[in-house]
Structure formats: C-alpha cells, structure tokens
Amino acid sequence: MKVTIVGTGYVGLVTGACLAEIGNDVFCVDVDPRKIEILNSGGVPIHEPGLQEMLRRTRAAGRIQFSTDVKASVEHGDIQFIAVGTPPDEDGSADLQYVLAAARNIGKYSNGFKVIVDKSTVPVGTALQVKRAVDEELKARGLEGSEKHGFSVVSNPEFLKEGAAVDDFMRPDRIVIGIDDDRAGDLAREKMKRLYTPFNRNHERTLYMDVRSAEFTKYAANAMLATRISFMNDLSNLADTVGADIESVRRGMGSDPRIGYHFLYAGCGYGGSCFPKDVQALAQTARENGHTLRVLEAVEAVNNDQKSVLVNKIVKRMGEDLRGRTFAVWGLAFKPNTDDMREASSRRIIEALLARGATVRGYDPVARDEAQRVFALDLADRPDDLKRLHLVNTQQDALTGADALVIVTEWKEFKSPDFWHLKSALKTPVIFDGRNLYEPESMAEMGIDYFAIGRPHVELDRHGSSN
C-alpha cells in the first residue's frame, strides 16, 4: 500500500520504518530540512534500538523515502498518517497547530480519496477539527463534496515505549482504530484493516471504536501508567518516614494478579515526551469541560515534587552548601535505551546541584550530545553553573575524584558495577540511587553509604565500617 507519514519525529519515523519493513511503499515528509538531510544520508536523528538497521534495509529496498516536498507526499499516499508534535501550551492543553497545518496541506493537494490518520496524541474532538480544516481547503479548490476527493479522518493512537518502540509496533498488544460510521468510514475501515492485517496473523489485535473514544483511550492509558508511578513514589516517601522498605511493599502488591508488577517501581519521577504532556492535556480537557480530574492533578503534583527527593537526600547528607563538592551522575536520558532528555529528572537534579555550587560530571551511554544541547539552553542565563557541568564519555570518567555518585537512569550497565573499584574511585564512598538498583545491606557491608528511594538507610557502623 502507498502510505505517507507526515512528521519524522519519534512516532512518525518508527511508524514509517515498520510499515515499510512489511512491504508498504512509504513516503516520509517533514518541514525540517535538517532531519531529512540526516535521513537521506543514512543517519537517524533519534536513538531507538533496531531503528537504524530497519531504515537501512527498507531504504536499500526502495520502500521508504524522505522529503520536504509536501505536495508530492500528499499525492503519494492513499493513507496519510499525521505524526507531528503536539507540545503543551501554557495552560497544559495540546498545541494542535502542526496537526491542523498537516490537515490543511492534505486538503490543499489531495488528488483522490484519502484516509487521514491522526497518529499524534491529540485531545478528544481533534478529528472534527482536522475534518473542518480539510473541508475548508477542498472548498477553496471547488472540490467540497466531490466523491473523488472524499476523505475519512481516523484516530489510530500509538502505544510505543521509547527504547522498545520497534518491537512494540511490530508485535502490538492492541491496535486501536476509531472510525466514523458512514460510507467514507467504511472505505477507511477496509484500508486500515488491510494495512494492519500482517500484525493480526496470530490473533485479532484490532479494537474498532468511535473516533472520540479512540482519542480518549490514548490519554487514559498514559494517565493510568503515570498514576501508578506517582502512587508508588508517594508511598516511597512515606516508607522513608516510617521505616518500611518500598521494594518489599512493591513485591507484596505486585503479587496480587489484580495489580501486577508493571509500573510499580519507586524512583525520582517520570519524564519523556508522553506522560508529562498527556497528563497535563487530559487534566486541561477536563477543566475545559467543567470537570476536575483530582487524581490526575495529584499525579502531576507528586511527580513534580519527586524530582527533588534525591536532591533533598544529598543536602541532608552533605549540606546545603555544595561548593567544592563534585558529583558523578550516571544517567541523563529520562529512561534507558533512548537519548530523549524531555522532562528528564536529571535536568532538575543537576541544575539543583549546580545552583548550590557543586561540580557535576555526567555520563550517559547515548544521551551525551542531546544533554549537551539541552543543558546549554537550560543554563544559558547561568554561565558560571554551565562551566561546572562536564559531560564525559565513560562511567569511570564520571567517578574519578567525585565526592559521591548519583544514579538517575537505570541503564543495564549500571546494575552490576565493580563496587570495590567504584568505592576506590570516589573520594567518599557515598551513593544516592534514584532507581533503587542495589541492596542497602550489601552496600553497607562493602562500606558504601547508600541512600535509595523508600528503602531503609543502613548505618555503616553496624558493619564495622565508617564514613
């Protein structure tokens, strides 16, 4: 099938590559010539495991192309995926300017019946706005109501985890499709069913519903996952106070099949492109419709506070004035297997340490360049602080001469380090672990002063060691 993907960001690029992988003829368009230049030269502007190899195969087979030519992109695809950004406005609502611009372009250059698919995460009612935008452009061309230039707007939200997006797309647990119940909708359903047939070979994964319900489903799913994270983080802070171990609590809770273990890990807050933005957007949608999602507003408040918990532990242990202190920070991206720095906890933590006069040596396996760009912007008005931030190339480079280690992202390579070497590299054997990677008792036995999230702090002198 001929498919057009509007937007070569995270969702668009993964969607385009995976659809090309199974044999479709895919045209990816973007208004950013820099991205297109990178893609046409064989590069990938984002880090996602398996994506570069897939793009290499599909490009070599001639099944995927990248261009800034909007007219050509509209003429190419019978199915037009809109996969552009929907950043939050000041009030938290989703900014739909890029979605509606894409819709207008489709109406402006349409050369036949089009299935227009909202792949971007958009609030309830967006499909109607897209329909109006396309209608306006067709009317301007004198084609309104033309059977040949008809179209149907479909909601097909993505459920991709960064770091596992290719696998999620190729082996989906569900495919949600919202379609209007009319003649154009029937044609769209046939095309979407054909497009997704290869993903339903083993069993039917497609859930058909009305458009508004499909739009709502994406936000509801992310809101639920964010709620589980914030709930555990809230409990972890109480566990700190009453002396309970949140890891034991997590295992006790997760063993209940009604609850399960997913997204029950306490830490230093969620980030990324989805949860923060989608929680805010859904809460704003509720307010616009005269409702208050009290649970969801609490979820956001807890997450905002949680990003300061690790800093509070550092200050309690090492003092408010951190001038002359150096901290090694392991992990800069908001989660493993990505270079995404959007809403990453590391940004809040590092900026707080720098503001107290500390020097920071940060390491991340893949996010170094993106972190360099982000911190240059974040600290543009704090040049003295920026000078004390050093993004290094190895774990060892970060550790050497540091007063303490701060763990922010749970990359696999951080889970089982050489602790004796780590201890010798630090000026003082102190670890502040924002992801609960290690066991407090084991750390104390090795003479490491270990502070985690919601886990008891084991005094070193119990094991015959001292600071």
pLDDT at 117: 98
Mean pLDDT over each residue of the chain, to the nearest integer: 95
Residue with the bigger pLDDT between 93 and 298: it is: 298
Do the two domains 2-209 and 307-463 of this chain adopt the same fold?
Answer: yes
Give the Cα separation of 444 and 420 in Å (integer): 12
Per-residue confidence band for 146, with pLDDT thresholds at 50, 70 and 90:
low
% of the chain with per-residue pLDDT over 90: 91
The annotation status of 86 as a binding-site residue, yes or no, is: yes
pLDDT attached to residue 206? 96
What does the domain layout of the chain look like in residue ranges? Answer: 2-209, 219-305, 307-463
Considering the domain delimited by 219-305, tell me its CATH architecture. Orthogonal Bundle (1.10)
Residue 218 annotated as binding?
yes
Instruction: Quick: pLDDT tens for 390-445.
Output: 999 999 999 999 999 999 999 999 999 999 999 999 999 999 999 999 999 999 99
Rg (CA), the chain: 25
Distance CA 255, CA 267 (A): 20
> pLDDT digits over 361-395, tens only?
999 999 999 999 999 999 999 999 999 999 999 99
Q: Is 410 helix (H, G, I), strand (E, B) or coil?
A: coil
pTM over 0.85: yes
Answer yes or no: is 464 a known binding residue: no
For residue 2, say whether it is annotated as part of any ligand binding site. Answer: no
- Mean pLDDT confidence for 268-294: 94
Measure the CA–CA gap between 140 and 299, rounded to whole angstroms: 45
Q: Is 160 marked as a binding-site residue?
A: yes
Q: 196 among the known binding-site residues?
A: no
Q: Which two tokens stand for residue 164?
A: 């596992």
Question: Annotation-wise, does 16 bind a ligand?
Answer: no
Cα–Cα distance for residue pair 34/327, rounded to 1 Å = 35
The catalytically annotated residue of 18, 28, 268, 274 is: 274
Residue range 313-356, pLDDT digits in tens: 999 999 999 999 999 999 999 999 999 999 999 999 999 999 99
Flag whether 191 is marked binding: no
Nearest one of 358, 368, 364 to 327, comparing CA atoms: 358
Q: Indicate the burial class of 308 (C-beta count within 10 angstroms; 0-12, 13-18, 19 or more).
A: middle
Sheet order of strands, 430-433 included: 389-391, 359-363, 326-330, 404-407, 430-433, 449-451
Q: What is the CATH number of domain 307-463?
A: 3.40.50.720
Inform me whether the pLDDT recorded for 290 exceeds 70.
yes
Check whether 463 has a pLDDT greater than 80.
no
Q: What is the pLDDT of residues 60-83, one digit of tens each?
A: 999 999 999 999 999 999 999 999
Examine the pLDDT at 144 and tell me if it is beyond 90.
no
Per 3-state DSSP, the chain is made up of helix, strand and coil in percentages (nearest 5) of: 45, 15, 40
Return the pLDDT at 466. Answer: 43
274 is catalytic: yes
pLDDT at 145: 64
What's at 303, amino acid-wise?
N
The pLDDT confidence band at residue 203, using thresholds 50, 70 and 90, is: confident
Q: Is 71 annotated as a binding residue?
A: no
Does the pLDDT at position 462 exceed 70? Answer: no
Question: What number is the average pLDDT over the span 436-464?
Answer: 90
Residue 85 phi, psi dihedral angles, 5° rounding: -70, 150
- 193 annotated ligand binder: no
Looking at 3.30.230.70, 3.30.470.10, 3.30.460.80, 3.40.50.720, the CATH number of the domain 2-209 comes to 3.40.50.720
3-state secondary structure of 165: helix
What is the pLDDT, as a whole number, of residue 147? 63
What pLDDT score was predicted for residue 83? Answer: 97
What pLDDT is stored for residue 467 in this prediction? Answer: 42
Cβ neighbours, 10 Å, residue 284? 18
148 marked ligand binding residue:
no
Q: Does 225 appear as a known binding residue?
A: no
Kind of pairing between the strands at 151-155 and 25-29: unpaired
Predicted pLDDT of residue 94: 87
- Distance in angstroms (rounded) separating the CA atoms of residues 421 and 122: 49
Residue-by-residue DSSP string for 378-390:
HTTT-HHHHHTEE
Mean of pLDDT values over 299-311 = 97
**pLDDT at 84 > cutoff 90:** yes
339 carries a ligand binding annotation: no
